[in-house]
Amino acid sequence: MIIIERSKQLKEVLNDLLKDQPVIVVDQGKLIGVIDRRALNIYKNQNTKIDRITRSITGLTEDDLKNMEKIIEGLMENGDYLIIVDKDRRPKKIIKINDLKDSLAKFINNIDIKELIDTHVETINEKESLEQARAIMIRNGLEYLIVTNSKNMPVGIITYDEVLMYSMLSNKPGRRDYETNNILNKSIKELIYKEVSIINLKTPIIDLLDRDIHVVYERGIRGVIKRKDLLKRILKNLRYTRSDVQIFGIEDNYTYGIVLDELTSFKERIGKILKEPMISLRIKGSRVYEGKLTIHSQNYPILIAEDLDYDPITLTKRLISIIQNKLSRSKKGKKKIDY
């Protein structure tokens, strides 16, 4: 783990950026984020300060490690590792994804590897130049290319981040290996690119967590699978398998988190009246959101609330209010609950 201050200039930390280690940006010791290599495309002057190319991320505390949803969201945000911070947001350590595989394995059931394949890919021969690779990526809006040999076998992955780094170092001092003119005109084979991970349709799902990108190859290149897409599916499985609170129809993580907190707090409040309540919220999105909140318990009939609103969070609060009113009327002596 390499820690650098956001006030540093790019030219001061080029060698650190090229090392195969996590680069964490801090401000007076407090976590700010990590290097966003894509930002180098805009701010690639070596006199640029580091904070111009820093991507903000959320550090996790030791307590957060007890919450699997926060763990998965953290991995989706930062890939190979989690950054653990203390109460003052000072980085303490990193936890690599391999250390979490056993915990994640239980949530991969019923995931079909075919559903994760992204077929929108492009290849480039290893004899082509870096400049040609950059042109293909820009033209097609791609983050990476699959590098192939003369037999059209995948031999590596070259990412847009790497292309930007090589471009920056062309004709400029940096790591000694790259202090050569006309880097962009060199063949991809002459430069370093990521080794490819080749899988097939029978590869165990858990193995897809090992790398960011995998090439699916069965008698030809079928596409790629990105670890982030698998993590998204695991997160969805985790959310849908909660025994007491289920939420359907909300994909946005921020909105989902707020709605989950509202329903969890509501469940704790009604737990004094209902025995082992189970909450289900279904939201359909259009111009106006339609919501249906259903509560099952062992000592009450099914409670149902339905309404419309322009915002899922406001809609959730309104549905909770409807259920609370029904429970309040019942508690005051009404024999039958309206539902």
Q: What is the pLDDT of residues 160-172, one digit of tens each?
A: 777 777 666 554 4
Taking 80 as the threshold, does the pLDDT of residue 112 lie above it? yes
Q: What is the pLDDT of residues 294-316, one digit of tens each?
A: 998 888 888 999 999 999 999 99
Residue with token string 């394949």: 117
Nearest CA to 294 out of 285, 311, 313, 281 is that of 281
Alpha carbon distance 302, 337 (integer Å): 9
CA angle (283 as vertex; 279, 285 as ends), nearest 5 = 170
Q: Which of 41-45, 209-213, 290-294 has the highest mean pLDDT?
A: 290-294
Q: Which CATH code fits 113-232?
A: 3.10.580.10
pLDDT of 336 reads: 45
Q: What is the pLDDT of residue 51?
A: 82
What pLDDT sits at residue 125? 93
The 10s digit of each residue's pLDDT in 131-146 is 888 889 888 888 889 9
Confidence (pLDDT) at 19: 73
Instruction: Please give the pLDDT value at position 171.
Output: 46
C-alpha–C-alpha distance, residues 283 and 291, integer Å: 4
pLDDT band at residue 38 under the 50/70/90 scheme: low
- 295: closest CA among 306, 284, 285? 306
| 242-250: average pLDDT | 79
The CATH code belonging to domain 2-96 is: 3.10.580.10
Beta carbons of 36 and 24 less than 8 angstroms apart: no
Q: What is the mean pLDDT of the chain?
A: 82
Please give the pLDDT value at position 290: 92
| Distant-in-sequence contacts of 60-63, Cβ < 8 A, 24+ apart | 60/84, 60/85, 61/85, 61/86, 61/87
What pTM was computed for the model? 0.64
Pinpoint the residues of the chain covered by CATH 3.10.580.10.
Answer: 2-96, 113-232
What residues contact residue 220 under an 8 Å CB cut-off, 6+ apart? 152
Q: How far is CA 75 from the centre of its chain?
A: 6
pLDDT, tens only, 253-269:
788 888 988 998 898 88
**Cα–Cα distance measured from residue 185 to residue 158, given in angstroms and rounded to the nearest whole number:** 15
More confident residue, 288 or 331: 288
- Res. 178 pLDDT band, cuts 50 70 90: very low
% of the chain at pLDDT higher than 90: 23
What is the per-residue pLDDT across 65-109, written as a single tens digit (0 to 9) for each?
888 888 888 898 887 889 999 989 999 999 998 888 888 887 786
CA–CA distance, 259 with 249 (Å, rounded to integer): 12
> How confident is residue 328, by pLDDT bands cut at 50, 70 and 90?
confident
User: Domain 242-331 adopts which CATH fold?
Assistant: Double Stranded RNA Binding Domain (3.30.160)
Range list for CATH 3.30.160.100 in the chain: 242-331
Contact 303, 246 (CB under 8 A): no
